[in-house]
Chains A and B, each alone.
Chain A
Amino acid sequence: MPITWDAGYHTAKRKGDKVANFPFEHGLIVAGILFVLGLIGVLTRRNVIFMLLGVEVMLNAAGLAFVVAGARWMQPDGQVMFLFMLTVAAAEVAVGLALVLLMYRHWKSLDIDVASVMRG
């Protein structure tokens, strides 16, 4: 159940504001398309940087979905989630790129398939 508080949404409305009012599913479908595109990017590209980019695309799409959902229910929870995701994405990119640097130093290549020592 979304949490309600007394700062209702009525006071937020400013005069003249126009905000899009479209079916909720469309927003989620857009997010889904973006997500799948990011997924395809992750699975297809061999370069580590591109894979990280794909992961970022996926994160972004998930965030978009959250915001759409928040807008539908008129709660700020969606945006709060997006904020957290942003934070996490930032930290993750930092660490991930550091690892990319390490990988480049060790294997002299950005091909992710060279890092497959733990095979069965």
Chain B
Amino acid sequence: MELVFYIAAAIAILATMMVITRVHVVHALLYFVVSLLAIAVALYAMGAPFIAALEVIVYAGAILVLFIFVIMLLGLGPRTTTEERQWLDFRVWIGPALLGVVLLVEVVVLLLRSSGGLTNGVVVEPRQVGVALYGPYVIGVELASLVLLAGLVGAYHLGRRIPHREAEGG
């Protein structure tokens, strides 16, 4: 099972690298889906099947679909693609890349300093998760629902069209 985890992790990393370097939005989104699926496999291998399922259903299935819908709404044409090619040249990504690499190195160094132990190869059952959610974390559940409500209202309000004042967009 460890092998599964490592391979899934490698795929996720490669896919994410493709996500951030694509010119076409839809290509990037699809690679992201791949990445998410790989992560789901890794999560399952770790012993968190419930989360793996949620990842696929909610993240890949809802959030990314939302992305795709918006892109369809925007109706970006080939002009965007050429723009993206222009914007993505060496001078632009070398700085952030260096910064990111430095950050990664630091994190890795810190992590490898101490041995934290093994993941114990144990499945944490969905039942436990549920008990925890409606036990100690019940307030968090309520707040999460409030967040969703806020998101809903906000998205509706921001996204509506006012016929005579379309330029400002409300």
Contacts and interface: CB of A to CB of B under 8 A. Distances in A.
A7 B128 CA distance: 7
Contact of B118 (A22, A56, A82): A22
A42 B80 CA distance: 18
Interface of chain A: mostly helix, strand, loop or mixed: helix
A74 to B, nearest CB: 5
Contact of B151 (A86, A91, A111): A91
Contacts of A34: 12-13, 16, 39
B121 A21 contact: yes
Interface of B: 1-2, 4-6, 9, 12-13, 16-17, 19-20, 25, 28-29, 32, 35-36, 39, 42-43, 45-48, 50-51, 54-55, 58-59, 62-63, 66-67, 70-71, 73-74, 76, 80, 83-84, 87-88, 92-93, 95-97, 99-101, 103-104, 107-108, 111-112, 115-125, 127-129, 131-133, 135-137, 140, 144, 147-148, 150-152, 154-155, 158-159, 166-170
